[in-house]
Amino acid sequence: MMRTALSNALDQLQLILTELNRLPTQLGNEVYLDANVGRHLRHVLDHAEALKQALDTGLVDYDQRDRGNAVETDRLMAMQQLSLLRLWVQTEDLDNRRIAVASEIDCDNTQRMQFDSNLHREILYVINHTIHHAAHIKLALKQFGIALPDAIGIAPGTATHLRRSGADAASPCAH
């Protein structure tokens, strides 16, 4: 269940990259940079990578990021990293287990704390974080006249609400 949910969230990023790849190369590259798509993708991939590393170390550290890496400027690199991450999700043991989370907690002072958590809770966080950034990307691309599928940026709770309200007979989630 968690594997499918995380895969579905990552599929939203794949759909974004697919839409950008339909543009002429130069325009796709310009929009990727100007709309900060690369920064959002790098940020989301950093969080997923932190989760991935936690399976080896027992500690998720979302503050460890690879700011300024090639994903921010290179769509091909983003596609490659996303493909590797999607493969990892499909092959990794995602059975629930205890893990810890370490994070800075205050913007005014350097204060770092460690918290008890579990893998499924942190997968949920990465899912919601991914969808949140997909929604930001969707809004940014709209300013460039690029319309993404309605399902991009729709959170699981919103999708349930839409299904219950009958607002959309089709699945509101991206696949």
Cα 19 to Cα 9, 104, 124: the distances in Å are 16, 35, 26
Q: Report yes or no on 173 lying in a domain.
A: no
Mean pLDDT for the chain?
A: 92
* Predicted model pTM: 0.90
Find all residues with CB under 8 Å of 155, minimum gap 6, and list them. Answer: 128, 131, 132
Cα 92 to its chain centre, rounded Å, is: 18
Q: Report yes or no on 127 lying in a domain.
A: yes
Question: What are the structure tokens assigned to 52, written together?
Answer: 């991935």
Q: Report yes or no on 175 lying in a domain.
A: no
Spatial distance between the Cα atoms of 79 and 15, rounded to a whole number of angstroms: 11
Q: Report yes or no on 172 lying in a domain.
A: no
The pLDDT of residue 66 = 82
Q: Report yes or no on 66 lying in a domain.
A: yes
pLDDT tens-digit profile of 36-59?
999 999 999 999 999 999 999 999
The pLDDT of residue 73 = 94
Say if residue 87's pLDDT is above 70.
Answer: yes
Spatial distance between the Cα atoms of 135 and 155, rounded to a whole number of angstroms: 9
SS3 state of residue 34:
helix
Q: Report yes or no on 137 lying in a domain.
A: yes
Q: Report yes or no on 44 lying in a domain.
A: yes
Number of domains in the chain: 1
Bridge partners of 112? 104
Q: Report yes or no on 77 lying in a domain.
A: yes
Domain of 11 in residue numbering reads as 2-165
Strands 98-104 and 112-118: antiparallel
Tell me, what CATH number does 16's domain have?
1.20.120
